[in-house]
Each structure stands twice: as structure tokens, then as C-alpha cells.
């Protein structure tokens, strides 16, 4: 006899992963089937690497240096592309057999980024078998966000990130992402200091469907840079606080809310920006609870 947990709409999150460039093509149907085998009990452990990747990746590319110009209006349009690396620990978690299964057992099984096939557990008494699903077998996850920066007043600047589109899936609907925040010059208070200094505060939110999945990231920190002709190295130190929740109905129609614990992580950035005639190109290494890399380009005046 085979025992399966409620087929909750968590399977739809597979399309989110695909839409955000985790993978594509024929694997889509298989991923949906993998996730459809899980109910709420194992959702946190299975999807935790996805939450951590969002937190680490979305906090990148928020600043291209430590300088906040104060003389006149300035405007920049940029695209920041990030790649977040997964750790070995991200590939597995300790899952339990679902409610209603004859035996309460725990096994180490793949997460959403783990091996594509999971183990099966058979109750020796009843012969009931539960097959744990696999993951996407990923070592990294790419993200990309456009952003607009406007400044020139009160030694400050404001940045807006926005992305919205329909997935084409009736159950998921729209994916909406918005981020906003600002930076304020600290150099103005330290006229003899040899580096450009600034402080930032940013808030970002990713929404999927009708409250299916919500991710929030709040970041604050300080940045420093030194311009050397065309090249400007920069460093940053900040704190990212992230949360995520998933809302869905099981097969009986019962509404279930899965809340991931809020987490705070120290975020270190080391990068440089190349100032060219028409475009600025920045590259950076980021270290938080995940390592990640960012490459961006901006135009403006």
C-alpha cells in the first residue's frame, strides 16, 4: 500500500523556481510532481535553501560605491545580475513521514536544491511505502533585477527596484517584486576622511500569486570607496533580516500557513566599479550565510 500526504499547492512553487531561472524545459513537470508529494510538515526544511538564496541574492548590488553625490540631480538606470552559491548542507534535511502514515520515521532526504531522486521508506509492519521526492540538483541560483537611482538632494539618493509579470499558470498568477530604500552620505560629516562613506536602508518584497508565497528582506549597513581614476574599489558591511511564508489549501480545502523563522545575517561586500564614458560596470563578491557574486551595468547622468 502507498501512503501520500495531502497534495497541497506547494507544487506550484516549482514554477516560481523555474520562473526565477533555477531551471527550465522538460524538468518542469518532474519538479511539480516532486513538490506535490509534500504537505506542510516538511515544507520549511525542503524550501529553506530557496529562502536563504533569496535573502542573500536580493541584498546584492544595492550600491556601486560609497559615494553619494550632492551637487545637482543625478539619475542612474542599472541591471544587477547575481549568482548565489548553495552549500553542501543545503542539499539535504531531516524529513518525517507524513501524518497518517503507520510509522513516524525520520530520514535525511533532498531539499529543493538536492539530488533529483529521494529515498523510499517502507513500514515493515504494514508494508506501507512513502517515497520522498527529490530536488533540482542545483549548486547555484541566478537572479537579476533592474533598478533606478535618483539623488542630489540633502546628500542622499533613493533607489527603486521593480519587476512584475504573469507566469502563464492559472494557479500562480502574477509574480511581483518591489524594493526601495536609500543612502545618505557620511563623508559630509568627516571632511578630512580619505574615503567616501555612506549609510543605507533598503526593503524588498517578493510576492507570488494570491498570497501563495511572500518573501521579505530588510537590509541596512555602511559602505566605503576610494576612486582611483577610472576604477573605484568599494567595501560594504551590513545586516540582512529575511522572512518567508507560504499559504495554501490542502486536498480537504483546509487553509495552511507555513511561516519560516525570521533570520538575520551579517553581509560583507567587496567590489569595484569601472567608470567609462557612457556606462559604469560593477562587480562584487558577497559573503553572508551564502557566498554570491554580482555583475552590474548602469547608465545615467
Looking at residue 27, its pLDDT comes to: 38
pLDDT tens readout for residues 14-61: 444 444 443 333 333 344 445 446 666 777 888 888 888 888 888 899
Using an 8 Å Cβ cutoff, are 136 and 60 in contact? no
Neighbour-count burial for 45-56, b at 16+ CB within 10 Å, e otherwise: bbbbbbbbbbbb
The pLDDT of 100-119, averaged and rounded, is: 87
Residue 32: C-alpha distances to residues 17, 29, 38, 90, 137 (Å): 10, 5, 11, 20, 14
Residue bearing the bigger pLDDT, 127 or 196: 196
List, in order, residues 6 or more apart from 254 with CB less than 8 Å away.
none
Looking at residue 200, its pLDDT comes to: 96
In 61-114, the DSSP E strands lie at: 74-85, 92-96, 106-110
The pLDDT of 70-79, averaged and rounded, is: 86
Q: % helix / strand / coil in the chain, to the nearest 5? A: 15, 50, 35
Work out the pLDDT band at 165, boundaries 50, 70, 90.
low
Using an 8 Å Cβ cutoff, are 141 and 20 in contact? yes
In 3D, which of 267, 297, 298, 265 has the Cα closest to residue 285? 267
- Residue 112 forms beta bridges with which residues? none
pLDDT tens readout for residues 283-300: 999 999 889 999 999 998
Looking at residue 28, its pLDDT comes to: 37
Looking at residue 17, its pLDDT comes to: 47
Work out the pLDDT band at 134, boundaries 50, 70, 90.
confident
Residue bearing the bigger pLDDT, 20 or 183: 183
Cα separation, 216 vs 30, whole angstroms:
28
Cα separation, 32 vs 169, whole angstroms:
12
Q: Is residue 68 scored above 60 in pLDDT?
A: yes
Compute, in degrees rounded to 10, the torsion defined by CA atoms 30, 32, 34, 35. 160
Choice among 81-85, 90-94, 245-249 with the minimum mean pLDDT? 245-249
Domains in the chain (CATH in brackets) are 9-300 (2.40.128)
Mean per-residue pLDDT of the chain: 81
Q: Is residue 62 scored above 80 in pLDDT?
A: yes
Work out the pLDDT band at 167, boundaries 50, 70, 90.
low
Q: Is residue 281 scored above 50 in pLDDT?
A: yes
Choice among 3-7, 124-128, 132-136 with the minimum mean pLDDT? 3-7
Q: Is residue 149 scored above 90 in pLDDT?
A: yes
Q: Is residue 5 scored above 50 in pLDDT?
A: no
Block residue for cell numbers 537611482: 149
Looking at residue 118, its pLDDT comes to: 86
Q: What cell does 99 get?
A: 501524518
pLDDT tens readout for residues 199-239: 999 999 988 766 777 889 999 999 999 999 899 999 999 99
Cα separation, 268 vs 286, whole angstroms:
6
Choice among 82-86, 244-248, 290-294 with the minimum mean pLDDT? 244-248
Amino acid at each position: 500500500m502507498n501512503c501520500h500526504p495531502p497534495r497541497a499547492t506547494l507544487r506550484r512553487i516549482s514554477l516560481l523556481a523555474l520562473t526565477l531561472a533555477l531551471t527550465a524545459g522538460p524538468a518542469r513537470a518532474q519538479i511539480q510532481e516532486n513538490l506535490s508529494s509534500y504537505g506542510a510538515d516538511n515544507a520549511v526544511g525542503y524550501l529553506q535553501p530557496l529562502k536563504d538564496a533569496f535573502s542573500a541574492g536580493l541584498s546584492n548590488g544595492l550600491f556601486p560605491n560609497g559615494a553619494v553625490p550632492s551637487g545637482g540631480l543625478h539619475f542612474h538606470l542599472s541591471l544587477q545580475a547575481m549568482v548565489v552559491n548553495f552549500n553542501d548542507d543545503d542539499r539535504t534535511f531531516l524529513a518525517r513521514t507524513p501524518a497518517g502514515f503507520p510509522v513516524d520515521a525520520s530520514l535525511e532526504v533532498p531539499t529543493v536544491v538536492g539530488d533529483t531522486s529521494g529515498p523510499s521508506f517502507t513500514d515493515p509492519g504494514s508494508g506501507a511505502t512513502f517515497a520522498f521526492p527529490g530536488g533540482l540538483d542545483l549548486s547555484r541560483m541566478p537572479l537579476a533585477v533592474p533598478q533606478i537611482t535618483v539623488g542630489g538632494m540633502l546628500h542622499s539618493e533613493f533607489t527603486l527596484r521593480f519587476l512584475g509579470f504573469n507566469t502563464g499558470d492559472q494557479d500562480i498568477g502574477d509574480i511581483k517584486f518591489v524594493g526601495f530604500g536609500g543612502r545618505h552620505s557620511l563623508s559630509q560629516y568627516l571632511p578630512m576622511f580619505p574615503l567616501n562613506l555612506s549609510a543605507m536602508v533598503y526593503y524588498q518584497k517578493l510576492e507570488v500569486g494570491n498570497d501563495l508565497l511572500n518573501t521579505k528582506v530588510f537590509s541596512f549597513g555602511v559602505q566605503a570607496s576610494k576612486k582611483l581614476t577610472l576604477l573605484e574599489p568599494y567595501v560594504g558591511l551590513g545586516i540582512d533580516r529575511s522572512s518567508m511564508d507560504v499559504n495554501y489549501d490542502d486536498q480537504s480545502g483546509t487553509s495552511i500557513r507555513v511561516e519560516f523563522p525570521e533570520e538575520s545575517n551579517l553581509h560583507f561586500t567587496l567590489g569595484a566599479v569601472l567608470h567609462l564614458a557612457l556606462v559604469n560596470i560593477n562587480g562584487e563578491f558577497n559573503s553572508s550565510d551564502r557566498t554570491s557574486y554580482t555583475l552590474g551595468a548602469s547608465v545615467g547622468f
